Amino acid sequence: MAGRRVVVTGLGLVTPLGCGVDTAWSNVLANKSGASRIEHFQADDLGCEIAAMVPRLDGRGGGGADIAGTFDPDAFLTKREQNRIDEFIVFGIVAAEEAIKDSGWVIDPEDTETQERTGVIFGSGLGGLQTIYESSLKLAEKGPRRFGPFVLPGMLTNLTSGHISIRHGYKGANHSVVTACATGAHAIGDAARMIERGDVDVMIAGGSEATICRIGITSFVACRAMTTGFNDKPETASRPYDKDRDGFLMGEGAGAVVLEEYEHAKARGATIYAELKGYGLTGDAYHITSPAPDGSGGYRAMKMALNDAGMTVDEIGYVNAHGTSTPMGDEVELKAVERLFGDAASNLSMSSTKSATGHLLGAAGAVEAIFSILAVRDNMVPPTLNLHNPSVETPIDLVPLKAKKKSLKAVMSNSFGFGGTNASLIFAELPKND
């Protein structure tokens, strides 16, 4: 990046593969799927009856009181607080709390100057969809006098940032991103830019989503974007690049990172996971829901990220693909990556962790950035589950079925969204002499 260097010093995850970075990542590397049948609301009339749900105490997503990685917001929020905010905000707060704790970034409440140098950018693709749905029904049924004052602040997309800022006294940028399925990646990239240019020294960035509800599933089925043919075998539904893929599987959760100016992190002795080396963002200017068939938008985002990083394609060992398991999108991205990497494509591994987590929409970019960072840290490449028969031939290793060891210096994470919006991030290990 052009200005000050930006590093990652904290990670937090709430995913269908478990809550907490250690649990989720070990499940990714164990080739597990987070998919199951929807049981907590009527879904048998929606076309898609399955999703990848965050494990909960009520048994959803395979969770339970004694099961590691089960979602437990009570540690951070009272029941009363939880009842007043949509679940996407709860997910975001919990992921952010883990990332902040992990980073060890603590600010003295009296230290206004430091508070003003720390900020937040948290986004969501759809925000409080379920809250809007429920309160709309209540408004129609009971009228405006029974419409509570907490509906609005409980569903606003930027309120995750607001809550994180209030909880920790962060008085720098208090911002948000809404770019559909590219939200999480844009939030991280934009946050890094603010550090790079000196507005702040530390940023909490990420995305969250909680739309596994009747209106959420119905909306995407109506766009013909979701899987409908694997209701009896949920864990096989998300199958990027496989010839039998038929649409994305919805996931939910949140990813949060702590980004920090390099010297600032070093001076306080913080553990540095990786350096955020490059960020690219482009628009397709083509269609509201379909990617440009030539993949030019994604191609230019990746190219811009490479230029920003001052790197060449042969330095990138792994791409965490957008790869949603839709019939068209996967191949468009794959061809764009082949075109960009040229001869280096034969040394590249590229997988879609959406095969395991489902598509976390506005949280996907943040969660997948974290998986990419962990791939560099551990020299492990996550798998593309259910990839038995690729629909096209490619020189790129799509990491079918099983995670594998691979020495990695730098990785790329792609996120593309409705509206023709594209984002690409590059993370690299710190040179040993740094």
Partner 1 sequence: MSDVLSRVSKMVVEHLDVEEDKVTEKANFIEDLGADSLDNVELVMAFEEEFDIEIPDDAAETIQTVGDAVKFITEATA
* Residue numbers annotated as active site: 181, 322, 359
Smallest gap from residue 164 Cβ to partner 1 (A): 19
Separation CA 61–CA 92 (nearest Å): 18
Tokens coding 403: 């995670």
Closest by Cα among 315, 321, 320, 269 to 431: 315
Smallest gap from residue 222 Cβ to partner 1 (A): 35
Smallest gap from residue 81 Cβ to partner 1 (A): 9
Smallest gap from residue 161 Cβ to partner 1 (A): 19
- Answer for the pair 410, 429: CB distance below 8 angstroms, yes or no: yes
Site string for partner 1, 136-155 (x = CB under 8 A): ---------xx-xxx--x--
Q: Which is nearer to partner 1, 148 or 395 (CB)?
A: 148
Smallest gap from residue 329 Cβ to partner 1 (A): 42
267 φ, ψ (degrees, to nearest 5): -60, -30
Smallest gap from residue 312 Cβ to partner 1 (A): 54
Half-sphere exposure of 96 (CA within 13 A, CB side): 31
> Where in 210-323 does DSSP place strands (E)?
253-261, 274-283, 316-320
Separation CA 196–CA 276 (nearest Å): 10
Q: Which is nearer to partner 1, 142 or 287 (CB)?
A: 142
307 φ, ψ (degrees, to nearest 5): -60, -40
Q: Which is nearer to partner 1, 143 or 269 (CB)?
A: 143
Q: Which is nearer to partner 1, 138 or 335 (CB)?
A: 138
Amino acid residing at 248: F
Binder to partner 1 among 42, 78, 136, 389 (CB under 8 A)? Answer: 78
A 10 A CB-CB count for 425 gives: 33
Q: Which is nearer to partner 1, 80 or 405 (CB)?
A: 80
What residues contact residue 164 under an 8 Å CB cut-off, 6+ apart? 92, 93, 96, 120, 122, 170, 204
Handedness of CA 274, 193, 372, 203 (dihedral sign): positive
Q: Which is nearer to partner 1, 75 or 288 (CB)?
A: 75
Q: Which is nearer to partner 1, 30 or 139 (CB)?
A: 139
Return the SS3 of 159.
Answer: helix
Binder to partner 1 among 80, 108, 288, 343 (CB under 8 A)? Answer: 80
Q: Which is nearer to partner 1, 82 or 379 (CB)?
A: 82
Smallest gap from residue 159 Cβ to partner 1 (A): 13
Separation CA 373–CA 365 (nearest Å): 12
Amino acid residing at 103: S
Number of residues that bind partner 1 (CB under 8 A): 8
Please, is 409 exposed, middle or buried when counting C-beta atoms within 10 Å of its C-beta (0-12, 13-18, 19+)?
A: middle
Q: Are strands 50-52 and 118-123 parallel, antiparallel or unpaired?
A: unpaired
Smallest gap from residue 301 Cβ to partner 1 (A): 41
359 φ, ψ (degrees, to nearest 5): -95, 110
- Answer for the pair 389, 280: CB distance below 8 angstroms, yes or no: no
Separation CA 370–CA 375 (nearest Å): 8
Site string for partner 1, 152-191 (x = CB under 8 A): -x--------------------------------------
- Answer for the pair 290, 272: CB distance below 8 angstroms, yes or no: no
Residues that bind partner 1 (CB under 8 A): 78, 80, 145-146, 148-150, 153
